[in-house]
Structure formats: C-alpha cells, structure tokens
Amino acid sequence: MSNHKGHVVVLTYPAQGHINPLATLATNHYTVKSIHATTVGVEPISDGYDEESFKSVGSRTLSELISKFKDSASPVNCLVYDSLLPRALDVARQFGIYRAVFLTNSASVCSMYWHIDHGQLTLLVKQETEPVLFPGLPSLGLSDLPSFLAQPSSNSAYLAVIMENFGCLDKNDWVFCNSSEEMEDKLVKAMSGLWPLVMVGPMVPSAYLDQQINGDIAYETKPPKSVIYVSFGSMSDITTKQADEIACGLIASNIYFLLVAKDSINNLPIEFINSAQERGLVVPWCNQLEVLAHQAVACFVTHCGWNSTLEALSLGVPMVAMPQWSDQPTNAKFVEELWQVGVKAKKNKEGLVTRDELEMCIKEVTVGKRTCNRAVRLGGSSDKNLNEFVVKLVRGEVKKA
C-alpha cells in the first residue's frame, strides 16, 4: 500500500461561535488513534473587507494557500470548511481534493433548511396552532422553529445567506456536524443517504469533559451546586425591560449567581449592580467552559446558542432556556422535551420572561433536581466517526464526490 499522508486545511467563518468548534476540531481531535500527531499551523487569508469582495478575494487567497503546499512533502488533500463559506467547495473541487463541510448548528436545524431548499417543504407556515412536521423530528410549533423560518419576511437577508449554503451539501465527501448520534439518532436515520452526514460533536475540549481543569473562578470557595451561571452569548441583545426582569429574578432566587452581561450591562438597574456584590457577580466576560466545568455551578440560564447548549449538555449542567433568535428556539425545545435536561422559560404577552417565571424555572432545575448526563464519552460514536474519517483520508479510501 502506498504511503498516504493527510494534510487538512480547516477554514472557519470569522465569528466566535464558528471559530471555537472548528479550532477544537483542529487542535483537539486531529491526534486520534489512526495517525501520529505532527503540527497544527495557522494561516490567514484576506477577507476582501466587504461581503461582495470576500466571495472573490476569499476564494482566490484560499487557492493561493492550497497552492503554497502543492509541491511540498505534505500537499493539502482535504479542506474542512464552515457551512457559511460555500464557495470553498468550488476551490476544493478545483484542486481535486477531498471536501468536508462543517455544520455549526444541530443536524436537526440544518435538515429543516435542507428540506425547504430542496422544495420538499414549503417555507410559509399556515397556522400558528398547526404543528410543523419534519422527517426525523418531533412535532414543532411555530414558536419552536428557527426565527428565520418562523418569520421569514423579517429575516430575509439572514435567510438568503443560510439557504445558499444548503443546496450543495451532497456535493461534499463528508458533512461534519457538531452534534452526536446519541443526541439526534432519529434525525440521523432519517437523513441517511441524503448527505454523507458524520456526527463529530460536541466540540468540547476533553480536558473539561474529564474535569481536568482546575478553575480559578470567583466562586472557588462556594459549595457544590450553589451558583447560577447566566450568559446570553456574544450576539444577543437584551432589552432594558428584560434585563430588569432578569436582575429581579436572580435576586429573588436567593442563590449565588455569576452574570455575564457584556454590552447589555448598561441595561441593568443600578440598584441591582450595587446589591449584586452580596450574592452575585456581574462581569463583561468569562471563560464559559471553566465556569460550566466547576462543581459550584448548579444551573445555566442561557440563550440556547448551539455551542452553549452542547457545552452544558457535555458537562452535565441543567439549563433554564431563554432563546432569543436564530436556531435558539429549536434548541430550547429539545433541551426541555427531547433531552429533558432543563426547562424553557415562558414569555408573557409582551414577549418578556418575567422575574417570577425566571425564579420558578431556576428552582425547578436546582431544587427540583432536573439533571442531565454527559452526551459524549471517550470511545463514543463521535470519536469513532472521526477516527474512521482520518483512516480513510490517510489511506485515500474515499471516492471523491
């Protein structure tokens, strides 16, 4: 057998929620049992400075990067690219190398977009009370759908970008998804044969899963399961009214809390920030994985972004879901009903989660002891899937799409 080597270029979309999982894939999972570790390098490419230029300049500079290694001892033979960069597929085909698209949403949400893009389901939802049925998924209400599908006219620009990415999934050799077969087994079976789907998540560094991180957070001395962690991600915009309800709900819970407020810190009541010094801490940023891995954390009040959901699932932290937009409503539905690892906070007629509702949800997942287990362990399905990918890549055993 000839001596094949694998050289993979990983191309990520420049947003935190996209960089983190692909960086973990590149740095954590490349040393699987099939190969010996060599090096992981970082190469920049030009973004063209605006969206239109990025389409042409990004493709050209990616081509230059791959060409750079063409005559080296380890030429590039595979491109793993973020699903928001579909033009990378054309570059990979141009060079005749393997291509693998990386989905940063759940396979369930991605399947919704795919079915609609292929005309198998219509985009417009007829009745708010009428259930929406997708293959391999539980019955969904209008409020459970990604916001881009529930309100397509209000999110037309976002939806256009997303839909562009799902017309060519089956043109890839692999479709990597940051999820696991254990979490989405029925969906994986339903999509079998439609795309070359490979579940490789959750993309959480193994040191956190193995409790090998000795965190130095503010609650190091607090008892186990005694702190509420609250964060709504890097892109959520919390209104002044909602911030006020969250603040009052946290105070009423009478439990220690760590609140990551970021830009919305200006929306918090001054009285709350002053009183928080007794039972809580308000910060603009923290290392979320270190916090979630800490034994003091009792629950996670979250927007249910996919990365945050996976991290809480993997580390066994129950959630209070307060979805804002995008895929978050669907993730929250699954957290409460499919995986049963938390509760979804209900909104009132004004679209607010009230202080009383938040307090009740916090008690349900702390005092009520709604718990969750780790979704992925060493030797689990995702580890095996990644191992098989590397074996086939190194041996050249895959027929290119």
CA 388 to each of CA 24, 185, 391: distance values in angstroms, whole numbers, following the listed order: 18, 19, 5
| Residues 347, 353: Cα–Cα separation, whole Å | 5
- Catalytic one of 4, 7, 18, 356: 18
Q: Do residues 327 and 243 lie in contact, with contact meaning Cβ atoms separated by under 8 Å? A: no
Tokens of 258: 């760590």
CA–CA separation, 9 and 43 (whole Å): 9
Identify the helix (H) or strand (E) that includes residue 177: strand 174-177
Question: Letter for the amino acid at 235?
Answer: M
* Spatial strand order in the sheet of 98-103: 8-11, 78-82, 98-103, 174-177, 197-199
Q: How many Å apart are CA 364 and CA 342, to the nearest integer? A: 9
**Cα–Cα distance for residue pair 278/261, rounded to 1 Å:** 18
18 labelled catalytic: yes
The two three-digit tokens of residue 70, written as one number: 């063409």
Amino acid identity, position 187: L
Q: How far apart are CA 201 and CA 233, in angstroms?
A: 20
**Calpha distance 355→248 (Å, rounded):** 6
Interatomic CA distance for residues 390 and 348, integer angstroms: 49
Does 170 qualify as catalytic in the annotation? no
Concatenate the DSSP letters of all residues of 280-339 into one string: EEEES---HHHHHTSTTEEEEEE---HHHHHHHHHHT--EEE---STTHHHHHHIIIIIS
Q: From the candidates 29, 82, 144, 173, which is the catalytic residue?
A: 82
Q: Which of 122, 131, 112, 99 is nearest to 190 (CA)?
A: 112
Active site residues: 18, 82
